[in-house]
Structure 1
Amino acid sequence: MSEHRAAIPLDECDPAEVVAQVRPSRGAPGHVVFVGTGLGGPLRLTLAGLQAIADADVLVLSSELSAELLGEPEVSCKPEAPVLLAAADPDLDKVVQLTSAGFSVAWLVAGDPMMDGAGPLAAALVDRGCRLDVVPGLPKATLALTVAGICGGDRQWRTTQDPQLTEVPANVVALLPADQIAELSRQARDRGLSTDTPALVTVNYASSSQRSIETTLGALPDVAEDCEGAATAVLVGDAAVRDPRLNWYESKPLFGWQVIVPRTKGLPGAIERRLEHHGAIPVQMATISVQPPRNPQPMERAIQGLVDGRFQWIIFNSANSVLAVTERLAMLGLDSRAFSGLRIAAVGADTVEALKNWGISPDLVPEGEQRGEALAAEFPVFDDLLDPINRILVPRAEIAVDALVTSVNELGWEVEEVIACRTVRAAPPPAEIRDAIKGGSFDAVVFSSASTVRNMVGIAGKPHTATIVAAIGPATVASCEEHGLRVDVVPKRPNLIELVDALAEFAAARRANLIARGQPVRRPSQRTRRRK
């Protein structure tokens, strides 16, 4: 995962300043690699695309992309790599100057570089002497057909981003803003297509808010009025008739559900990705803000001891402590190899996930309930014949973990506690978010620890009774009940992935039950609005 970073317009970039501040990773000449990112976030990047981003000295984003993509947990890039935003008519000479200085430039584009409009830019750079490479991505039209559940097969499709048709092919895929749909319909009818020709309009295609409308060419202008200015994929032709069995994308169990994910500020992880996998729209809400310790010296000494091999074990009891330690190691130019020879214990699903994001699998995680007491019960007794060192490092927040430390001491280990960070309750979310939480505009909330329950209720209030509540384990369930919340979903094991999967299973069973009773299938938030 890369930190969110400031991005500046490419036209305002001073290549000489970049050359003075950043050392290229290769000798001159450099090159430009156009990277197709598909649509819908980092999960549609290819492995080759991720590698090209990680290797780049300079990153350029097309106007359709946001720099937030580079802050996603799956995306790694050099911390010193400048991020430049390209306009519709970018200053290519600045890119040429960077490549001439030996820089590798990754130019990220939506969809596929060759299929979705970057070809002329690439050709112009070659004309200026740049070496060119391309990482293909998922083309926009291909994505539009696939997520709509349309089989291409041997059908011929004409792709366009212009409502002006010079000819009428058998089947058309038009990627247009909604206000151009009526013109597309008129053009096709004027060129002889029947008003009864099948059409399929996919609003916000390839996103979790996608909505498909089956219609005809003649009814397209009326459909356009219901699309509210959104980006659309309009399919026209006999091949636009969808087999309902293939509507896989909009049939995901959590499709369109808005799910609150209360968690530590700046600590994205597996919950959001798994929710997206099941079709949900995760809405992260910071409930805790992590700050450095008031006195940093003990933490500095502990990190040095870790590097010097002074400890046999390190125990992490929160994702925040993992973040504090790994951030400090990164500042020293170190990576996960700094933990070589050290045994690692972890308490909590968030903690395990934070370690995995750094490429570390803990040696010991308690079975069942994720509490310090459970870890202490499974922790090995110190053996002076087998254990070369008897010291354990416990980096923690200001809140003490006395029971864990006492229990481990009784097993013969010498524990060194150090305050790695301070956790403070995050600022309340905007008023509209608080009102949406209390008013039932969210479909579900996923609690991964007891503290997320306390902090969310403290800064935003209790979720509406119609909101589905998922809790990771017994301690979290108890915290929910303490705050008067009904718990609907608890996984069999306290694991982040299984927590989201359990919510998806709940949603699928709920949908099947509504269908069996002959009732319309609505999301929990829609039922709330209907009652109003």
Structure 2
Amino acid sequence: MKADNQDLGGSVRGATQGISGTVYLVGGGPGDPGLLTLRGAELLGTADVVLHDELIHPSLLDLARPGALVRSVGKRGSDRESKQAKQEAIEAELVLHARAGKRVVRLKGGDPFLFGRGSEEAEALVRAGIPFEVVPGVASPLAATAYAGISLTHRDFASSVILVSGTGRSGERFDWSEIASVKGTVAVLMGMHNLGEVIAGLMGPGRRDPATPAAVIQWGTRAEQRVVEGRLEEIAGNARAEGIGSPGILVVGAVASLRRSLRWFDTRPLFGKRVLLVRPKGQAGATARQIRQRGAEAIEWPAIEIAPPPDPARVERLVGEMGDHDVVAFTSENGVEKLFEAIDAAGKDARVFGRSAIAAIGTGTAAALAARGIRADIVPPKDFRGEGLADAILAHAEVAKRLSEGKAVRVAIPRALVAREALPEILRAAGCAVDVVPVYETRKASPERRAQLVRMVEDKRIDVVLLTASSTVDGLCDALGEDAARLLGGVALASIGPITTATAEKRGLSVAVTAEVSTLGGLIEAVERHFAGSSAGSRGASR
């Protein structure tokens, strides 16, 4: 588990003077975690210490290695004296960790050297003799405008761009006369708290026409993105009427009118939706990325936790006897992961499968096998349930031949301790000898995490829940308690298939979407189709 808010003195106690680590000033990008650079991701995965800004997307912190000290050093607010004091404390902390020999990532929003005080931190490191590296990030004005459908430059409208900080070091206002002759695009950062003054400065004598197109972008590149448009003279009022605040960017110039034809991010069917993923921790990453690519916000809340098998010795025996089976049938990605952990622990590799045919219940499980160098011999063509897998195994040429000749067919099923019995029952009824081996156990979420979920649902912070298995339905309902059906009444419940839907309905839930293809990709596509008929971006559309 990553540490948070640890005692600074304790974290560097015993440091050896003269042995220095390195500080990496890493740009975290504007908000969308997919815009982090490869170098930034690499450094996050190897850092001993990560000190991050408050506005960093939480999923970026998942890239930090286990055991790293991860701490927020955000300093939002209007008290400039306290901000300056905190900035000095950040610089001192960077030096202290580096002198303790640590690899330190200072994760900053946007780009470290663009209005981010990264240069001040670099200067402090130079004074202390600490080696450092600057890793540029995608700057917020470039990304936020692109996601809003606004091109900062355009051959017909603007051949120049000027980036302005709406607030100076000591709170002094920008001298707008400096850009009186600029005819291109103006993008103002950190000016939302005094937007009216910024607009007045831009419309000063001989400057911008009050009718100039303008736009304000809040939370650019994220599912929370909101955009307000209007003439320069009215944009402050429009933003105020829509409740637009920080973090935001003001864009002024003819290019702002391009949004009407170039919008792409906030027109997606899932834009602005908050999608709850209840898969086990560590398994929701790929799904979360797909959700975010569709403009939605992925909220990870594991309904179940994956625990070690109840009888490890039995799993060890299975590994030793693996090659004696005719078929090894995997019913989940968890089963793949946990069996391969046991194979690795035994000092063996995929050769333990020997002559066994490998079966996977669906394409997701088959992909998990492929990632480990195993191509599944048997995958149901459509019915990704125990029944479909049983039919596919019995239809396999070698299995069907042996059964027709009255020969034994041994099938091993590495799975969860508690699972549906359809697969082993059908195979036994057909004459197979089935060895069901629990390679993991599922456990309910802790009381603290259950309380967290209740708060999110009661506060209406969830729009959609992806139900990816019967176990996640049970975990979700157990967490919410007797009021589960009522609490989820205003939430769109999306099920991966008919078995999961049936489980949800037995628990009193109303399922809005059931995927036709029982894969995560099929589920997400079904959710997209469900919302395609509603107004695009209804929660974040612009005026």
TM-score normalised by L of structure 2: 0.74
Unaligned runs of 5+ in 2: 74-85, 168-172, 403-408
- Cα 1:121/1:278, change in 2 over 3 Å: same
When structure 1 is superposed on structure 2, of 119-128 and 5-14 the one drifting more is 5-14
- Which of 223, 227, 230 is the matching residue for 2:243? 227
Q: Is the 8 A contact 1:63 1:85 kept in 2?
A: yes
Partner Cα separation in structure 1 for residue 378 and residue 151 of structure 2: 48
CA distance in 2, matches of 1:111, 1:292: 41
Whole-Å Cα distance in 2 between the matches of residues 467 and 392 of structure 1?
41
Residues in 2 aligned to 1:357 and 1:179: alpha-carbon distance in whole angstroms: 50
SS of equivalent to 1:38 = coil
Q: Is the Cα contact below 8 Å between 1:58 and 1:105 reproduced in 2?
A: yes
- Partner SS, residue 89 of structure 1: helix
Correspondent of 1:45 among 14, 33, 36: 36
Partner of 1:121: 121
SS in 2 for 1:88: helix
Asked if 2 retains the 8 angstrom alpha-carbon contact of 1:303 and 1:329, the reply is no
User: How much does 1:251 deviate?
Assistant: 0.9
1:83 aligns with 2:70: yes
Where in structure 2 are the equivalents of 1:326-365 lying within 5 Å?
338-339=349-350, 342=353, 345-347=359-361, 351=365, 364-365=378-379
**Residue of structure 2 equivalent to 1:137:** 137
Residue matched to 2:162: 158
**Residue number in structure 2 paired with 1:470:** 494
Unaligned runs of 5+ in 1: 21-27, 385-389, 513-520, 527-532
Please list the CA deviations of residues 48-71 of structure 1 after superposition, one character each: whole Å capped at 9, or x if unmatched. Answer: 3222323x2423223235594355
CA contact (8 A) 2:145 2:217 kept: no
Q: Distance in 2 between matches of 1:98 and 1:210?
A: 36
Matched, 1:61 2:60: no
Matches within 5 A, 1:320-469: 320-322=334-336, 324=338, 338-339=349-350, 342=353, 345-347=359-361, 351=365, 364-379=378-393, 381=398, 394-399=413-418, 402-405=421-424, 415=435, 417-418=437-438, 420-424=440-444, 427=447, 428-429=450-451, 430-435=453-458, 442-460=462-480, 461-462=484-485, 467-469=491-493
Partner amino acid for 2:438?
V
Q: What one-letter code is carried by the residue in structure 2 that aligns with 1:376? A: A
The one-letter code of the counterpart of 2:470 is A
Q: Which moved more, 1:370-379 or 1:453-462?
A: 453-462
Structure 1 pair 302–203 and aligned structure 2 pair: CA distance change class (3 A): farther
Query: Is residue 195 from structure 1 mapped to residue 203 from structure 2 by the alignment?
Result: no
Q: 1:470 to 1:190 in 2, by over 3 A?
A: same
Structural mapping, 1:172-251, within 5 Å: 172-176=186-190, 178-190=192-204, 192-225=207-240, 226-227=242-243, 229-251=245-267
Change (3 A) 1:18 1:296: farther
What secondary structure sits across from 1:497 in the alignment?
helix
- Aligned partner letter, 2:238: V
Residues 354-363 or 146-155, more deviating: 354-363
What's the CA shift for 1:103? 4.8
Q: Partners in 1 of 2:42 and 2:417 — Cα distance? A: 39
Distance 1:204 1:358, change over 3 A: farther
Partner of 2:277: 261
Distance 2:13 2:377 in 1: 48
Structure 1 residue 212 displacement after superposition: 0.8
Decide whether aligned partners of structure 1 residues 139 and 395 sit closer, same or farther in structure 2, where only a CA change above 3 A counts. same
Query: Shift of the alpha carbon at 1:149?
Result: 1.1
Which one-letter code corresponds to 2:253 in the other structure?
G
Deviations 1:340-391 (CA, angstroms, capped at 9, x unpaired):
654754435665676688898756443322222322333355799xxxxx98
My pick for the range that moved more, 165-174 or 201-210, is: 165-174
Distance in 2 (alpha carbons) for counterparts of 1:400 and 1:232? 49
Contact preservation (8 Å) 1:36, 1:135: yes
CA distance in 1, matches of 2:516, 2:87: 51
Q: How far, CA to CA, are the matches of 1:259 and 1:413 in structure 2?
A: 42
Instruction: Determine which of 274, 287, 295 is the counterpart of 1:279.
Output: 295
SS at match of 2:133: strand
Aligned counterpart for 1:33 among listed residues 24, 27, 51: 24
Task: Give the aligned CA root-mean-square deviation in angstroms.
Answer: 4.3
Residue 100 (structure 1) shift:
6.2
In the alignment, the residues of structure 2 paired with residue 350 and residue 259 of structure 1 have an alpha-carbon distance, to the nearest angstrom, of: 20
Rate the CA distance shift 1:243–1:91 in 2: closer, same or farther, 3 A. closer
Q: 1:181 to 1:351 in 2, by over 3 A?
A: farther
Query: Are the aligned partners of 2:21 and 2:100 in contact in 1 as well (CA < 8 Å)?
Result: yes
CA distance in 1, matches of 2:276, 2:504: 15
The alpha carbon displacement at 1:270 in A equals 3.3
Letter in 2 for 1:141: P
Give the SS at the match of 2:291. helix
